[in-house]
A and B are shown apart, each in its own frame.
Chain A
Amino acid sequence: MTNAAMSGTYLGEGSGPRAWLLTTDHKRVAWLYLVSLTAFFFLGGAMAVLMRIELATPAGDLVSDDVYNRLFSLHGIIMVWFFLVPSIPASLGNFLLPLMIGARDLAFPRLNLASWYVFISGSLFALFAVVAGGVDTGWTFYTPLSTLYANGWVSTAAFGVFIVGFSTIMTGINFIVTVHTLRAPGLTWFRLPIFVWTLYATSLVMVLATPVLAASLILIVLERVFGIGIFNPALGGDPLLFQHLFWFYSHPAVYIMILPGMGVVSEVLPCFSRRPLFGYKAVAMSSIAIAVFGFLVWGHHMFVSGQSAYAGVVFSFLSFCVAIPSAIKVFNWSLTLRKGEISFETPMLYALFFLALFTFGGLAGLFLASLAVDVHVHDTYFVIAHFHYIMVGGMVTAYMAGLHFWWPKMTGRMYSETAGRIAATVTFIGFNLTFFPQYVLGFDGMPRRYHTYPPEFQFWNVLSSAGAVVLAIGYLMPLFYLGWSLFRGARAPDNPWNATGLEWQTGSPPPPHNFETMPVVTRPAYAYDMKGLEHERFSPHREEAAG
């Protein structure tokens, strides 16, 4: 990539370690994140594959129970905190937010770089915990198991997660301030791309929920190291208190993870349908609604924990409420395709697969929100399937869609379209093969976090394990063809997909300060050409009058 063609772009600003590791350019920081996140994704993924191989047979024959428990604990810890939470915001969001709102950089470029270093130091603690002997508490750190009975490096891992929380908060503050203060002239709130809306909503959750996780992790470490008994019933504490605190963060965290994915899909679907997003305002507002309601539903993880039945009823009600904005989004995305001119490039394929998998996962959420059904499927593979459909089928698929969509912008290179389409399809097939059987397993009653299981569950487990191999191939493929495109890919034009959006109005890759002349915005988002109706439909005055 170090040739003359990159001069004048942000990639031409030096290529040594100093130029990357001390950069404050949000586009380069995005790459720092992207590379580290990819490493964590494959580390966590390798653990998942090992688990699936172990589960191909009912007996515990590949790894011991202790090793298995460490595998799923670290898989959860790594995937949640070191991949899913930062994934889209810190990589794609970091790269695109200033470009999309017409700013030279994020509000606090040095804070942005600092957040990466904090992220890396937190992850070093977690990796040390892995190497030193692992953690066997599950990613949820439930007390009193984690405080009194676990024999792994719980405090170290919890401390790592705690530190990563700082990096999350830094990113959140940076994004919120950037959106508030650095929008280009004419870029009103309701002209913002939905991706910006969702980053904003996610940042709100990051800033307000992460400290509660920090509080509960502080209390865990105090309890383990100093012997304070806040969650220990023998000292007057209450183990359920931890669950309340933990889920008060960790349920909103689910929305931290999925909201930016929804944003990506809201960019990709209109572009490849050549249609404005259906119901723009409803989609924007539902993102905020999800962020707000997300704070009120944590108790639905605790229906059988011994909390009062009335609490259960209230939390169930609120959980059904939070399903509504998600449903609204799905309907809007589907209707966006209507009367479009749809083409099926790789990002679009991923986005359509997202739509299918997210819907499938979301519908399963209704089962889990229904109290009586949840009593049966809680803590079984049904829950595993549900959140993997949302987190992997939804979020990771959206991440792939975004990565392919903006890859030309980020690198100035095109990748092989054929390879991209094959990888997307392989992923989709592999994903369903892996996780659909887990719905059935859960309904049949197989509990989660089981190293061994009764033989009658084997059929579905074998299917799932086979799917995991296909899925792994689907995820490994982009590593090769995207890597190849970095060096050998065709040069990308400034706007290869004919997309609207300010990020496409500058070079591919963009210059160091993003725009040669600062842009002024006169149109709403997604003003895709519609034959004969362009002027009538998209005059900004008309739109404002209508809104």
Chain B
Amino acid sequence: MSFGIPFFPQEASSEAGRIDALFYTLLAFSAVLGLALAGLVVGYAVKYRVGSKADRTGKRSRSLPLEMSWTIASLVIAFIFFGWGAALFVRRDHPPADALEISGLGKQWMWEFRQPGGQREINELHVPVGKAVVVSLAAQDVIHSFYVPAFRIKQDAVPGRTTHIWFIATQPGRYHLFCAQYCGTQHSEMGGWVIAMAPEQYAAWLNSQGEGETLAASGEKLFRALGCSGCHGASSKVRAPSLDGIFGRPVALDNQQTVIADERYLRDSILNPKKEVAAGYEPHMPSFDGLIDEGELQMLLAYLKALSPQPTAGARQ
């Protein structure tokens, strides 16, 4: 129909249709308003051209009722579009509870993913169709942005924090994955494919990749290798708090405040342990800033999360 010319992007996620409905409504509104204005201006330009015999008497050069009515109409229409767009946008913060968690790391200039089962991928992301997927994003160096046009999703990956994006792929296929935030020399090369597969094919693919180490398992190894377990381990409770079930739990600090141990808190406690010290402990822990990279940090976070029986979605941000 379109002779190979792409007019519209594919719709391949659960949200794509909803967002497109808003897009096409906006498009229709713009077309109607644009054409009406064009018709008005061209009509006047012809009717009232110099030398035409049109009637030019009467009518002041302002009309309060007219001005009021178009102001109010503009406001009402703007608020409708605002509400519609905002309602869809807020859904971004509420991924379905049973979502598959995949971690993604952006670095100049590639995307690195790790499946829940530990399988690693570079510039490719395999996901099952019909199942919610949450990608937790981190950035190694500069800001990157995870963008899959066919899914209508985009989220920046910002150094120093973890961000999230979720989607449910609806159609099997290969979809472009782009980096949308300019990130330096090879920005346009940074990307690849999201490959959505039927669940059984996805399972088969996972198997064919071998039984990789899960992120949490890598994190556990790292936890020992870096010596964290020496203090935080079960046998040596004397010097450092136990980390069992830490994620999502309130932590009392030595300055009488209490924080929720979310990703932000855990990340800061590893990189900058003196900032928020748990009450009743000496600030002995050294900083691991510069000793571990963003990828290793993700592993540690995954391990700490795995120590908590049921991570709640609310504590994520």
Contact = CB atoms under 8 A, between A and B. Distances in A.
Bound together = yes
Interface of A: 60, 65-66, 69, 136, 138, 140, 142, 144-145, 148-150, 233-234, 236, 238-240, 273, 275-282, 303-306, 309, 312-313, 316-317, 320-321, 323-324, 327-328, 330-332, 334-344, 352, 355-356, 359-360, 363-364, 366-367, 369-376, 378-380, 440, 443-445, 447-454, 456-457, 459-460, 530-533, 537
A352 B41 contact: yes
A145 B75 contact: no
A444 B41 contact: no
Given A323-B78, A380-B180, A451-B188, A444 B142 contact: no
Contacts of A148: 141-142
B74 A327 contact: yes
Contact of B289 (A234, A366, A380, A440): A234
Contacts of A448: 180, 182
Given A150-B184, A306-B158, A443-B23, A320 B81 contact: yes
14 contacts: A142-B142, A277-B61, A281-B62, A306-B163, A324-B75, A339-B57, A342-B45, A342-B50, A352-B45, A371-B88, A379-B182, A447-B178, A447-B180, A457-B6
A239 B139 CA distance: 12
A320 B160 contact: no
Contacts of A454: 176
Nearest to A341: B50
A69 B186 CA distance: 9
Name the 3 nearest CB pairs between A and B, nearest first: A445-B149, A233-B160, A370-B85
B293 to A, nearest CB: 11
Contacts of B22: 370, 372-373
B158 A313 contact: no
Contacts of A380: 149, 180
B150 interface: yes
A142 B34 contact: no
Contact of A316 (B60, B86, B92, B141): B86
A360 B34 contact: yes
User: Chain A: interface secondary structure?
Assistant: helix
A450 B50 contact: no
Contact of A363 (B34, B57, B108, B147): B34
A457 to B, nearest CB: 7
Contact of B23 (A328, A343, A373): A373
A69 B189 CA distance: 13
Contacts of B37: 330, 334, 359
Contacts of A280: 61-62
B188 A144 contact: no
Interface string B138-171: 0001110101011011111011110100000000
Given A340-B56, A372-B84, 14 more contacts: A65-B186, A142-B181, A149-B142, A239-B143, A279-B62, A303-B89, A324-B78, A327-B74, A370-B22, A370-B81, A372-B152, A376-B154, A443-B23, A447-B180
A282 B67 CA distance: 8
A491 B166 CA distance: 68
B291 to A, nearest CB: 12
B182 A440 contact: no
A304 B145 contact: yes
A449 to B, nearest CB: 4
Interface in B49-100: 49-51, 54-63, 66-67, 70-71, 74-75, 78-79, 81-82, 84-86, 88-90, 92-93
Contacts of B142: 142, 144-145, 148-149
Nearest to B156: A305
A405 to B, nearest CB: 17
Contacts of A445: 9, 147, 149-150, 176, 178
A456 B67 contact: no
Contact of A309 (B90, B160, B179): B90
Contacts of B59: 338-339
B187 A451 contact: yes
Given A282-B67, A321-B78, A338-B44, A343 B50 contact: yes
Given A65-B185, A239-B143, A445-B178, A304 B155 contact: yes
Nearest to B146: A304
Contact of B30 (A140, A335, A366): A366
B292 to A, nearest CB: 12
Nearest to A236: B272
Contact of A338 (B5, B30, B48, B160): B48
Contacts of A376: 19, 23, 149, 152-154
Residue from B79, B154, B183 having most chain A Cβ neighbours under 10 A: B154
B26 interface: yes
B40 interface: yes
B103 to A, nearest CB: 16
A138 B63 CA distance: 46
Given A369-B82, A449-B182, A279 B67 contact: yes
Given A238-B160, A440-B7, A537 B60 contact: yes
Contacts of B90: 309, 313
A149 B74 contact: no
B19 A355 contact: no
A360 to B, nearest CB: 7
B160 A328 contact: no
A381 to B, nearest CB: 11
A366 B84 CA distance: 12
Contacts of A530: 56
Residue from A327, A338, A370, A533 having most chain B Cβ neighbours under 10 A: A370
Contacts of B154: 304, 375-376, 378-379
Contacts of B183: 145
A454 to B, nearest CB: 6
A55 to B, nearest CB: 10
Nearest to B19: A372
Contacts of B179: 447
A359 to B, nearest CB: 6
A360 B6 CA distance: 21
Contacts of B315: none
Nearest to B271: A234
A167 B205 CA distance: 62
A485 B75 CA distance: 47
A138 B188 CA distance: 14
Contacts of B23: 367, 373, 376, 443
B182 A355 contact: no
A344 to B, nearest CB: 8
